[in-house]
Amino acid sequence: MRRLILIAIPYLWLLALFLIPFLIVVKISLSDTALARPPYFPQLDLATGWQGFVDFLRELDFENFTFLTTDDLYWKAYLSSLKIALISTALTLLVGFPIAYAMARAPEEWRPTLMMLVILPFWTSFLIRVYSWMGILSQGGLLNSFLLWLGLISEPLTILNTDTAVYIGIVYTYLPFMILPVYAALEKLDGSLLEAAEDLGCSRTSAFWLITVPLSKQGVIAGCFLVFIPAMGEFVIPSLLGGSQTLMIGKVLYEEFFSNRDWPVASAVAVVLLLILIIPIVLFQRNEQKQRESEG
């Protein structure tokens, strides 16, 4: 019985905080926009009973999803988000892995402090941190003044309001999500394996590639998911740091919802985004599991 309750808790959590909200979004994506409060039709009225429910279902259709295929804006935005999310995940890994590696190799008594330093930025609001990047990257900002002072550049660089600024913002914001899981994996790594490798004549570099990297794989995968998924739907960073040419699905979704007041199409965009994210991840996990089974 206790075991059942323990198993039930995460499922109830998923049901209440993921599945039900998702079904509501799916329901809205199948309705039509209307000038009403709330602005879509049909509304589900439980008072009308079973017949009302059947009539309600009849009103639903996939029109909004077919609409998404008629305008190239949507797939361009999905592709552009995919590109930005992939590149920023790679960059975050490139910056995050060495940091996590250094942390795991640091003397044991330093580690809590180093961990603290990684988490420290979370004590300030995310919005304030992104705003301060505006101050750093702008034409007369800290970075340009510094580079001018060094004499490295003669004209201030335009970084703010470009894709470069978006990458910087995403890498900065999501870095801890990469460092922490990679660090957790590296810290558990058994040092004697590396010693054994060296004893057997393996060079340090090849020991790193043959032992450290494969054993931290799970941490790297977890970190990449934690960065990639939110980066894909990111709205705040591109709208504050990006230019008007930065096309991302989060911005398109905002415009559907706020400018067009078209909740059904906005919901359809969100459902497609979720599918784009979930299907490859599920396939990937299944593949991983198969591999593990065949190995075991």
Residues found near another protein in the complex (CB under 8 A)? 33, 35-39, 71-73, 76-77, 161, 244-247, 252, 255, 257-262
Report, in Å, the least distance between residue 251 CB and another protein: 9
Report, in Å, the least distance between residue 157 CB and another protein: 15
Cα–Cα distances (Å) from 184 to 179, 216, 217, 270, in that order, read: 8, 9, 11, 33
Note whether 174 and 226 are within 8 A (CB).
yes
**Smaller CB distance to another protein: residue 260 or 287?**
260
Report, in Å, the least distance between residue 145 CB and another protein: 15
Cα–Cα distances (Å) from 231 to 236, 272, 276, in that order, read: 10, 16, 13
Report, in Å, the least distance between residue 273 CB and another protein: 17
**Smaller CB distance to another protein: residue 71 or 293?**
71
Report, in Å, the least distance between residue 241 CB and another protein: 13
**Smaller CB distance to another protein: residue 20 or 196?**
20
**Smaller CB distance to another protein: residue 260 or 291?**
260
Report, in Å, the least distance between residue 80 CB and another protein: 9
Structure tokens at 131: 């705003």
Note whether 215 and 227 are within 8 A (CB).
no
Note whether 169 and 241 are within 8 A (CB).
yes
**Smaller CB distance to another protein: residue 68 or 222?**
68
Q: Which residues does residue 41 pair with via DSSP β-bridges, in sequence order?
A: 32
Report, in Å, the least distance between residue 256 CB and another protein: 8
**Residues 6 or more apart in contact with residue 169 via CB below 8 angstroms:** 130, 133, 237, 240, 241
Query: Using the 8-state DSSP alphabet, how is residue 244 labeled?
Result: T
Note whether 130 and 151 are within 8 A (CB).
no
**Residues 6 or more apart in contact with residue 96 via CB below 8 angstroms:** 175, 178, 179, 182, 223
**Smaller CB distance to another protein: residue 225 or 257?**
257
Distance of CA 74 to the CA centre of its chain: 19
**Smaller CB distance to another protein: residue 1 or 46?**
46
